[in-house]
Chains A and B, each alone.
Chain A
């Protein structure tokens, strides 16, 4: 199909140049195939535009598929519909002010994002974090990972055809929301982590809730395994679908569970341990197949490992302060702010100027988010604002994979493959 024919049919009204270029890019992809099959006597070829407003694309992802019958010949992915320019915003905010924006990047696991920003700022500004805060952060991160994987599980199984599963995983997520509500005062975008520690300590009530969740959740996981592992429909829809071969996975830059499902045990928690991940015992689940079913097993096992980590953290949870007691580096506690003059001045200074890393310092710090490596590069000019902040996200990397693994698949498998990769557009588009 020629580019002009497509454009004549589509008649784009907005951003004409953009529409033209993406159809042109689709035509240019593997031009060798195009030249052989230029004639189409049976009229089986069509261009399918999927999204950005499509319920199965998990946000505002747009795919342009060239179909031959039911087979996808080639694909182009168009992202950027949720681009808010958070990196630009970061350059005009203090580090602490930027925290709520990170919640809205990967909005399925806000806690990981907060911790990623805090650890990066702590690394560049040499802030010591109390032991207890590290453990609270680890518990928060692992709960966020479970929360994110639960949403993935619900929607992915729904994409494969089972609607009721979504309700069961959301019942568990609801418990996690309640825990976060008790922990930080918000259910969804919690912003609980602070530079130099966390905002407030866990209550006994909260620890009780986490313990109860840790005790009941493995049984739920077991039930889901029982429901899905030998389910003929589920396996037929996922096995050998969207295969990312081991030799391509690194080359194409896959991240997180997608990379681990293709055979590489690349986990930041093991490679560059942050917080206290070097003191807890856990495995990095991997699979070799690289298909959607392998991704399912990897994520399910990751939830098991998260529960294991939370259990160990609860056992080890040391006593002590939850934020560093240096008023030049972190917010003073509210007691100090309300009852002492110095406390109030320091609080004001932290809000106004914030923490100032040394001039010219650069750092990169990554955490293992639920979607993959979540890294913050910060370059400081000595003021309270970063000179440049670059955020490396797992979803962006995995969407690039999508463009490569969709070719040759059936059109009905598209939504399952998107579901299996688990992209979050807030994170990919930044």
Chain B
């Protein structure tokens, strides 16, 4: 599908692909939003490049999604906003199911602290270099990652039995 990028988006993506030819993978658009896929191992360099060279000074959010596939199961998104150019861009990386680890971007934006904790809490993705990687919503004693697709909607595995939902046939 042909991309319909705005002038400013185009400049940013050109800069990014020129400076990181090995790490830049692809750009795609969906419903008018621009997503840039990059290699997971270069995320800190790419983020600090975007912050320092392309004015993406505001990190809106870090969030993850579970694709529930056997390869590259998790994806992590970085929602970046440039106040100068008034544009928004999404950086996306894919992670493997076994041992999902990525470098923390707290060294680039301090605001990534809690968002990364939330991703860790909900998906179990580890962020190396994060100063305070604790669970944020669930208690520390909780053993599961509730936003993963295999976690049931009702009941915690191994916990108290759920009430019987089938009607009493006597």
Q: Shortest CB–CB separation between residue A257 and chain B, in angstroms?
A: 16
> With the chains together, A22 CA to B134 CA distance in Å?
8
> With the chains together, A50 CA to B112 CA distance in Å?
25
With known contacts A85-B146, A123-B31, A21–B134 Cβ distance under 8 A: yes
With known contacts A83-B138, A87-B147, A123-B32, A388–B79 Cβ distance under 8 A: no
Which among B19-27, B37-45, B82-90, B93-101 touches the partner chain?
Answer: B82-90
> With the chains together, A81 CA to B69 CA distance in Å?
32
> With the chains together, A373 CA to B77 CA distance in Å?
17
Contact of B110 among A25, A253, A429 (CB under 8 A): A253
In the complex, chain A residues 387-426 whose Cβ is within 8 Å of any chain B Cβ: 387-388, 390, 392, 396-397, 399-400, 404
In the complex, chain B residues 136-160 whose Cβ is within 8 Å of any chain A Cβ: 136-141, 146-147, 151, 153
Q: B139 to A15, Cβ gap below 8 A?
A: yes
Closest to B138 in A: A80
> With the chains together, A87 CA to B88 CA distance in Å?
23
**With an 8 A cutoff between CB atoms, is A272 at the interface?**
yes
Q: B86 to A271, Cβ gap below 8 A?
A: yes
With known contacts A18-B139, A88-B147, A377-B63, A264–B83 Cβ distance under 8 A: yes
Q: A397 to B137, Cβ gap below 8 A?
A: no
Closest to B117 in A: A400
Which among A286-294, A298-306, A333-341, A360-368 touches the partner chain?
Answer: A360-368
Q: B139 to A400, Cβ gap below 8 A?
A: no
* Number of inter-chain CB pairs below 8 Å: 108
**Chain A, 163-182, contact with B by CB distance < 8 Å: what is the 0/1 string?**
00000000000000000000
**With an 8 A cutoff between CB atoms, is A375 at the interface?**
yes
In the complex, chain A residues 338-389 whose Cβ is within 8 Å of any chain B Cβ: 360-364, 373, 375, 377, 379, 387-388
With known contacts A85-B146, A271-B86, A375-B61, A17–B66 Cβ distance under 8 A: no
Q: Shortest CB–CB separation between residue A37 and chain B, in angstroms?
A: 21
Question: Given the complex, which residues of A lie within 8 Å of B109, measured CB to CB?
Answer: 251, 253
Q: A17 to B61, Cβ gap below 8 A?
A: no
**With an 8 A cutoff between CB atoms, is A236 at the interface?**
no
Question: Given the complex, which residues of A lie within 8 Å of B146, measured CB to CB?
Answer: 85, 88
Q: B132 to A388, Cβ gap below 8 A?
A: no
Contact of A17 among B90, B113, B139 (CB under 8 A): B139
**With an 8 A cutoff between CB atoms, is A312 at the interface?**
no
Q: Shortest CB–CB separation between residue A16 and chain B, in angstroms?
A: 7
> With the chains together, A177 CA to B122 CA distance in Å?
36
Question: Given the complex, which residues of B lie within 8 Å of A252, measured CB to CB?
Answer: 110-111
Question: Given the complex, which residues of B lie within 8 Å of A25, measured CB to CB?
Answer: 132, 134
**With an 8 A cutoff between CB atoms, is A239 at the interface?**
no
With known contacts A253-B110, A400-B111, A362–B137 Cβ distance under 8 A: no
With known contacts A15-B139, A361-B31, A390-B63, A253–B90 Cβ distance under 8 A: no
Question: Given the complex, which residues of B lie within 8 Å of A396, measured CB to CB?
Answer: 114
Closest to A84 in B: B137
Q: Shortest CB–CB separation between residue A93 and chain B, in angstroms?
A: 10
Q: Shortest CB–CB separation between residue A214 and chain B, in angstroms?
A: 31
In the complex, chain B residues 32-81 whose Cβ is within 8 Å of any chain A Cβ: 32-33, 35, 57-61, 63, 65-66, 77, 79, 81
Closest to B134 in A: A21
**With an 8 A cutoff between CB atoms, is B165 at the interface?**
no
Question: Given the complex, which residues of A lie within 8 Å of B59, measured CB to CB?
Answer: 253
> With the chains together, A285 CA to B114 CA distance in Å?
28
Question: Given the complex, which residues of B lie within 8 Å of A151, measured CB to CB?
Answer: none
Q: A88 to B79, Cβ gap below 8 A?
A: no
**With an 8 A cutoff between CB atoms, is B30 at the interface?**
yes
Question: Given the complex, which residues of B lie within 8 Å of A87, measured CB to CB?
Answer: 122, 147
With known contacts A85-B146, A364-B90, A17–B141 Cβ distance under 8 A: yes
In the complex, chain A residues 3-29 whose Cβ is within 8 Å of any chain B Cβ: 15-18, 20-22, 25, 28-29
Q: Shortest CB–CB separation between residue A8 and chain B, in angstroms?
A: 19
Q: B140 to A18, Cβ gap below 8 A?
A: yes
> With the chains together, A126 CA to B134 CA distance in Å?
39
With known contacts A16-B141, A253-B111, A363-B33, A392–B134 Cβ distance under 8 A: no
Q: A400 to B137, Cβ gap below 8 A?
A: no
Which of B66, B139, B147 is the most central at the interface, judged by chain A CB atoms within 10 Å of its CB?
A: B139
**With an 8 A cutoff between CB atoms, is A266 at the interface?**
yes
Contact of B79 among A89, A123, A364, A429 (CB under 8 A): A364
Closest to A92 in B: B153
> With the chains together, A88 CA to B61 CA distance in Å?
18
With known contacts A21-B140, A250-B58, A387–B65 Cβ distance under 8 A: yes
**With an 8 A cutoff between CB atoms, is A124 at the interface?**
yes
Known: A17-B139, A250-B58, A252-B111. 6 other contacts (CB 8 A): A25-B134, A28-B132, A88-B147, A362-B33, A363-B33, A377-B79
Q: Could you list 11 examples of A-B contacts with CB < 8 Å?
A: A15-B140, A89-B153, A124-B31, A271-B86, A362-B30, A362-B31, A363-B31, A363-B33, A388-B65, A392-B79, A397-B114
